[in-house]
Structure 1
Amino acid sequence: MEVNIRHARAGVTIAVDGLAELRELEWHDGHVRIGAGLNLTEIERRLDGRIPLMAEWFPQFASRLIRNSATLGGNIGTASPIGDSPPTLLALDASLILASREGEREVALADFFRGYRQTELRDGELIRAVKIPLPLAPITGFYKYAKRRFDDISSVAVGIALELESDNVRRIRIGLGGVAATPIRALKAEEALAGKPWTKRNVREAARVMGQEGTPLSDHRASADYRAAMLEQALLKFFFEKSEVVRG
């Protein structure tokens, strides 16, 4: 966008996507670490469905041609409020490993975005890896609303990860894109469901709360009212689509 729309030119450009340190994908006892320089096609191949929420998200991210080049580090680092990876990774409770000459530090993805296209990155720092905690929530879903479902920028994107205990919500994480100046967690909707039975009534109430999350705007992609309505619909759709899994 900086080049083809804003006609901006950087004084110096350095390609880092070939660095081995940015292309690692490692499984550990308590987390999986995905290099920020791996393209999405390579991540999809190497994960091989072991993170179901990401497996659901991959085919909805642009085209295969773009996924052959696009990286997690690039999609997160632009800090776009409509990037598709942050809602997915927020639902997975991901954190980022940031590296510089001074060493590495870990920042929760939920704390990484400071404002519109503003991040916690310091001068001389880059995103080295994405860290996803294990075990994963067993019930997940990704919902993208756009003029075209595939090969298009989302108007609204929602990632959901749910863990139940005796039909009660033990833990739920919901990531949202397209409804605020940054990707955000649906904290009020999460709170409305925490510890409660996973029932249609409770989910409908939480969906109404979720429709009020963020500060959606009207633009050429969608109106603010449409975006709010799609937030509600995403949670309801998740409930009805995953009912078989819950009964499972």
Structure 2
Amino acid sequence: MMTRPDDPNRRRFLGRSLLAGGALLLGGCERVTRSDAMQSLFDASGALTQKAHRLLASQESLAREYTPDDIAPEFRANGTTDPTSADYRHLAANDFSDWHLSVDGLVDHASRFSLTALRDMPARTQITRHDCVEGWSCIGQWTGVPLGDVLDRVGVRDTARFVVFHCADRYGGGDPYYESLDLREAYHPQTLLAYDLNGAALPIANGAPLRLRAERQLGYKMAKYVMRLELVESFDHIGRGRGGFWEDRGYNWWAGI
């Protein structure tokens, strides 16, 4: 039976086929070398995956959403599960009442939003599957404010190309964690700044008080403990210049599925 170019099963098969090669190359998180030859291979793989994904999926195509019966009894936590910085511990001790999200960079109006202010904005709830590059998946219900709505409030300048998510945690006690999306993914309707998981406030282990949900991306893009959004034209001045904590260590910047 022939399939249409936009057939979801075909898109899923091609996307997983392309990602499989990258996953085999990556293996464990800290096993990636940064030789010039390996980095060129990663870059070429990422560019191919992104082009294929964008060719086969429209800007508005949605990741699959599930039913309440599909929700896992406990959503698996990964990466950092309890940031140790004094500032974060102070915020957590006060139930994040003093926490604010800063939004700056290439915007018209740099702003700060309290957790209450974000909760007062129109919200979206979605039940989706988290796919980790390490090979496991978990389904959860997320509630939060669409990232695009926050960006519209600050006014994104024409020169901005990416949103960078600066986080409170330092994975393994090392460099500050950060991630990024291009504006196309940032404005996707399923891209949320999530503050609730399974109908309750986001637990610390899962990224409290605010984490990214970008449902068309693999799990390492889903930054937790988000403190600041920075609109940028390039990543040259951030980390090692590759757009994310794991990308700086050899992962592909594009992680679309």
TM-score, length basis structure 1? 0.23
- Greater relative contact order (Cα 8 A, min sep 6): structure 1 or 2? 2
**Alignment TM-score, normalising by the size of structure 2:** 0.22
